Structure 1
Amino acid sequence: MIEVFRIDGVEFGELRAELAGIKGHVSVGQLVFSIAPRINAAGRLGDANRAVELLVTDDQDKARLLVKELDNENKRRQMIQQAVVDEALLKVNAEADLKNENALVLANAGWHPGVVGIVASKIKEEFNRPTIIIALENGSGKGSARSVAGFDLYEALTACKTHLDGYGGHPMAAGLTLSNQKLEDFKKAFIDFANERLTKENLQTILTLDSEMALQDITPRFMEFLDKLSPYGPGNMRPKFAIRNVEIAGVPKVIGKTGEHIRFKIKQGLKSYPAVGFGLSNKYEMLITGQPVDIACVVETNEWQGNTSIQMNVRDIKRAVT
């Protein structure tokens, strides 16, 4: 069940296709977004030793059972995570003062501690400010924090440590524990610290683009060049491009369980490519006007059900300046 494959010359243990429905070559993207979440789900919701067993066992029957178990666990994690995200968004609308508070501290009994880190990342991305999500249980809380550029989480937690039972991490991500009795004092101290260190300008979302290009520039040679730049990740993010004055071909489609994403097709001259915008369904009305738009995107290879195609992973959309 366990085989060896290579990604950019590095050997990894493969969980064969059963783990994530992957066939053939396993890309870095598939490893990060398909295989890793299933491995991580074991520890988030239960016993992480199951993932270790899967990686080391030579028993194919046992491995198949573990693969199925981890896949089911990952699906359960996704459901729990979405429920916590939805509740956290409601809390922001009900409790947070976004005009006067440069950070978010959200806590609730019943939130699963195994997903607070993922939820903190999503809420941070939505509101572009330091975010702490805390799961409360039996009189204490376990929290996870995510930050924005220019705000050192570890420094902030150190400044508030009198309200904490424990903490650790680095400038961009951290974890903490505290008693319920100290929650409100900690929340006030953390938000006060953020208000002192961050300005409204710091909280503005800035999308930095690497270059401008046209659809006709996307050639097999170009895609090969992008592939040679991988693996991508912190310190080597995928290049983002501006593509101006593109037409929308056909009718855009809102997708996702809660209708938060959008899929459409862009055209420029004789060239056209599919595009997907995660979290950009609010741009739907702009896309159906028939007017040209400018997009900021990552050019990527999409692999789905055995088919490979080039698509634009869109990060932002604006009306074209004519």
Structure 2
Amino acid sequence: MIAQPTPPPKRWITKPFPDSAEQRVAIKSLTQSLGISPFLAALLVQRGVHTYDEARTFFRPEIDHLHHPFAMKDMDRAIARLQMAMLPEREEKILIYGDYDVDGTTSVALVYGFLKNYHAKIDYYIPDRYKEGYGISRQGIQWAADNGFSLIIALDCGIKSIERIAEAKALGVDFIICDHHRPGTELPDAAAVLDPKRDDCQYPYKELSGCGVGFKLLQAFCLYKEIPLDQLYPYLDLVVVSIASDIVPITGENRVLAHYGLKYLNSAPRTGLKALIKVAGFKNSLDITNVVFGLGPRINAAGRIQHAKAAVQLLLAELEEEADEFAMAINKHNNDRKTFDSSITEQALAMIRESEAMVRAKSTVLYDATWHKGVIGIVASRCIEHFHRPTIILTQSHDKAAGSARSVPGFDVYEAIEECADLLEQFGGHTFAAGMTMPVDNIDAFRRKFEEVVSRKIKEEHLTPLVEVDLPMDFSEINDKLARILKQMGPFGPHNMPPTFMTDDVYLVSDPIVMKEKHLKINVRQSRTGHTLTAVGFGLAHMADQLQMGKPFSICYQVEQNFFNGNVSLQLMLKDIRCS
């Protein structure tokens, strides 16, 4: 076991207080119209909520806030091609094709699960992570052609599959692409290309998940066919799982989809998700964090350890007994994944620490031919927890080096990889996560060039973990009403994170308690107000020795309600501690 070093100090960045003349007027207006404290009103203004109507939209998202699906470029072409395939005189075979991660498998379950009610000749296909790799595969296209499919709806992939889609067209197979990744300079020659990130797409919201784009296709299908949208909305439990697990911003349309998705997930989840919730051990209502850390990894584990088709089978299961069996199998895959993840992470961290050059570098690029391809993205994230910098973990796959990249806040890893494109055979992804394939012989050259690009582009501040503080706060502001309103500001996620506060000049009122050798529990009093609260800090046990009775320190934290033995109390969830 590798000894865990003390984590590096974090940067605390406090957002500007909303203090312009216009903002002060908005704070006063919200304080009166909502019956809240000026402090809470300032917090809302800081998040772009200035009026009563904006507050109502923020706190009470409505399903009719969703944008019209035909505002998306090519939606009319997509529906025309889908409708043509469904004509009684044609009865084309339609294949729903999706990536093997959570976003891809939920997308397939959504689109296949809904369209099979309206078209009999329909099936789905998930590529094998290890035999076919990411995106549209030649094997998948050939399988479709051999089995008489003339239309493929590609979900969460396809936007850069220029050659593959040309090959499919030559075989008489059309594509409707539903993707949310960045397009290249050329678009595939498909019947329709739905991607809000297209330069020529005027769709008002750009950050949908792949499953979200699939949902817009079905929304348009319902409007065209005059199918009541109430028949589509129960599928939002799948959409919220994709939004949470793919780490897309929870703003705008995603916030509406996530809000209603959580309602369905907590009140009437589909049989497969209900079984997954049970094996994950959740008893109370789920939020985005529960989905990210409880449901997402289990769905992902199917494709990481064996084949992601098992995840789709779970999500489509209708019988409880069948769903329970799938959920138990996927849970076992997840336990196996944790074993791989832990072992490879230890090896990766050891490789960095044994090389002075790697410790000093601005990036991490590691390769081992024996590492399990299914967990290298997770290992990259784990490495960033210890060495806060852009990280790429590579392993061998089909005589090539296949890799997963993860980044740190403020740095676009996709753009950095793009500058190394001459050494790659294939790459794609987002600002903070990407995948790539290259010849094994190119690894050393890629490592050098990637380090050069990152060193040139990254700012020193990006290499230090960041805690973003919304507002300084006195303990006197913390009460049950504040906690209830903060909770209603969810669902939380990227670009709408739980509010984080900072309080200076606090003191211990009893000795700190270290829990499980990792976590910290302290009782603290703010000297200015005299209020005392309990605070818990996960992974902050190393701070216990620095805290001394009678010595002031500062904390940043989130406010939570703690439910225990039927009692509800307020507690602070520490993000960091700074001693004077």
Q: TM-score, normalised by structure 1?
A: 0.86
Residue in structure 2 matched with residue 276 of structure 1 by the alignment:
537
- Which of 383, 386, 396 in structure 2 is aligned with 1:123? 383
Conserved? CA contact 1:23–1:306, under 8 Å: no
Q: Distance in 1 between matches of 2:439 and 2:550?
A: 55
Cα displacement (A) at 1:221:
0.7
Tell me, what secondary structure is at the counterpart of 1:233? Answer: coil
Paired residue secondary structure (2:466): coil
Is 1:252 the equivalent of 2:503? no
Shift of 1:270: 5.1
Q: Which residue of 2 aligns with 1:30?
A: 290
Mapped pair 1:52 → 2:312: yes
CA distance in 2, matches of 1:54, 1:136: 30
Paired residues of 1:128 and 1:148 also in contact (CA < 8 A)? yes
Where does residue 274 of structure 2 map in the other structure? Answer: 15
Unmatched runs of 5 consecutive residues or more in structure 2: 1-233, 238-257
Task: Return the alpha-carbon distance in structure 1 between the equivalents of residues 567 and 337 of structure 2.
Answer: 27
Residue 295 of structure 1: aligned partner: 555
In structure 2, relative to structure 1, the CA distance for the partners of 1:52 and 1:202 (3 Å cut) is: closer
| Residues 124-143 of structure 1 mapped to structure 2, 5 A cutoff | 124-137=384-397, 139-143=399-403
Shift of 1:139: 3.6
Corresponding residue pairs, total: 313
Which is higher, the Rg of structure 1 or of structure 2? 2
Identity across matched positions, percent: 30
Q: CA deviation at 1:225?
A: 1.0
How far apart, in 2, do the equivalents of 1:275 and 1:83 lie? 29
- 1:155-181: CA deviation from partner (whole Å, max 9, x where unpaired): 221211222121111222111112221
- Residue 235 of structure 1 aligns to a residue whose secondary structure is coil
* Alignment-mate amino acid for residue 304 of structure 2: R
CA distance in 2, matches of 1:308, 1:143: 46
Q: In the superposition, relative to structure 1, how do residues 162 and 303 fare at CA in structure 2: closer, same or farther (>3 Å)?
A: farther
What TM-score, normalized to structure 2? 0.50
Contact 2:501 2:557 in 1 (8 A): yes
User: 1:66 corresponds to which residue?
Assistant: 326
Paired residue for 1:266?
523
Q: What corresponds to 2:454 in structure 1?
A: 194
1:238 paired with 2:498, answer yes
Shift of 1:95: 2.6
Offset of residue 45 of structure 1: 1.6
Backbone CA RMSD of aligned residues: 2.7
Pick closer, same or farther for the CA change 1:25–1:171 going to 2, 3 Å: closer
Amino acid at match of 1:266: N
Partners of 1:287 and 1:115 lie apart in 2 by 38
Q: What is the Cα deviation at residue 42 of structure 1?
A: 1.4
1:58 & 1:201 partners in 2: Cα distance?
50
Range with greater deviation from structure 2 (81-90 or 31-40):
31-40
Instruction: Look up the equivalent residue of 1:264 and give its one-letter code.
Output: K
Task: Please give the residue correspondences for 1:307-322 in structure 2 after superposition, counting only pairs within 5 Å.
Answer: 310-319=570-579, 321=580
Give secondary structure in 2 for the equivalent of 1:151: coil
Change (3 A) 1:314 1:298: same
Match of 2:336 in 1: 76
Please state how far the C-alpha of 1:254 moved relative to its aligned partner: 4.2
Distance 2:374 2:481 in 1: 43
Does 2:424 correspond to 1:164? Answer: yes
| Structure 1 residue 153, shift from structure 2 partner | 1.9
Question: Which letter does structure 2 place at the counterpart of 1:80?
Answer: F
Structure having greater relative contact order (Cα 8 Å, sep ≥ 6): 2
Q: 465, 470, 481: which one pairs with 1:221?
A: 481
| Aligned residue type for 1:25 | S
The residue aligned with 1:101 is 361
Letter in 2 for 1:180: V
CA contact (8 A) 2:508 2:549 kept: no
1:162-201 deviation per Cα after TM superposition (whole angstroms, max 9, x unaligned): 2212111122211111222111011011101111212434
Of 287-296 and 64-73, the range deviating more from structure 2: 287-296
Secondary structure at the aligned position of 1:144 is classed as strand
CA contact (8 A) 2:556 2:574 kept: yes
Paired with 1:53 and 1:298, the residues of 2 have a C-alpha distance of 38
* Contiguous gaps of at least 5 residues in structure 1: none
Give a deviation string over 1:72-126, Cα, whole Å, max 9, x none: 2222222221222211111111135257521111112322111111221222233
Amino acid in structure 1 at the alignment position of 2:538: G
Structure in which a larger fraction of residues adopt helix? 2
8 Å contact from structure 2 (residues 522, 534) kept in 1:
yes
Look up the SS of the partner of 2:578 in the other structure: strand
Which whole-Å CA distance do the structure 2 matches of 1:238 and 1:116 have between them?
29
The answer to whether the 8 A contact 1:250-1:264 is kept is no
Matched AA of 1:26? L
AA at the equivalent of 1:9: Y
Equivalent residue runs for 1:173-192 within 5 Å: 173-192=433-452
Task: Report the secondary structure of 2:394's partner residue.
Answer: strand
Paired AA for residue 241 in structure 1: F
